């Protein structure tokens, strides 16, 4: 059956006809979900995708896990601390030839 024939059969329902490859284990999951919900494979996929998108959108609008202003305040306090001792450089450990002192 051609794509045009399929489109003619379902003009109001299907606006796109596209072939995608899905792993067999995923097909099994979709079939199980459709069977449990008593709907079609398309309905099962649509419901699962929409639920995932809604969760993702909700997570994006949630408060961040880290308060960046607090991080900036802590960093400023750290930078303001006095330096206790200068950090040793390579010259403290190696001579001009690169050998250990």
User: In the chain, how many H helices and how many E strands?
Assistant: 5, 0
Token representation of residue 82: 């006095």
Q: What is the pTM (predicted TM-score) of this model? A: 0.45
Phi, psi of 24 (to 5 degrees): -60, -35
Confidence band of 49 (pLDDT split at 50, 70, 90): very high
Closest CA to 44 of 35, 32, 34: 34
The pLDDT score that the predictor gives to residue 32 is 95
> What is the rounded distance in angstroms from the CA atom of residue 101 to the CA atom of residue 94?
5
The pLDDT score that the predictor gives to residue 12 is 54
The pLDDT score that the predictor gives to residue 70 is 93
Mean pLDDT of all residues in the chain?
84
**Helix axis angle, 24-37 to 41-61, nearest 10°:** 100
The pLDDT score that the predictor gives to residue 65 is 78
**Is the pLDDT confidence value at 45 over 90?**
yes
């Amino acid at each position: 059956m051609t794509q045009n024939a399929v489109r003619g059969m379902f003009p109001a329902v299907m606006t796109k006809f596209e072939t995608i490859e899905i792993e067999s284990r995923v097909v099994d999951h979709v079939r199980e979900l459709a069977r449990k919900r008593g709907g079609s494979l398309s309905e099962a996929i649509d419901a699962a995708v929409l639920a995932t998108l809604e969760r993702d959108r909700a997570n994006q609008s949630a408060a961040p896990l880290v308060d960046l202003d607090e991080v900036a305040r802590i960093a400023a306090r750290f930078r303001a601390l006095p330096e206790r001792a200068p950090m040793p450089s390579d010259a403290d450990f190696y001579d001009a030839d690169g050998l250990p002192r």
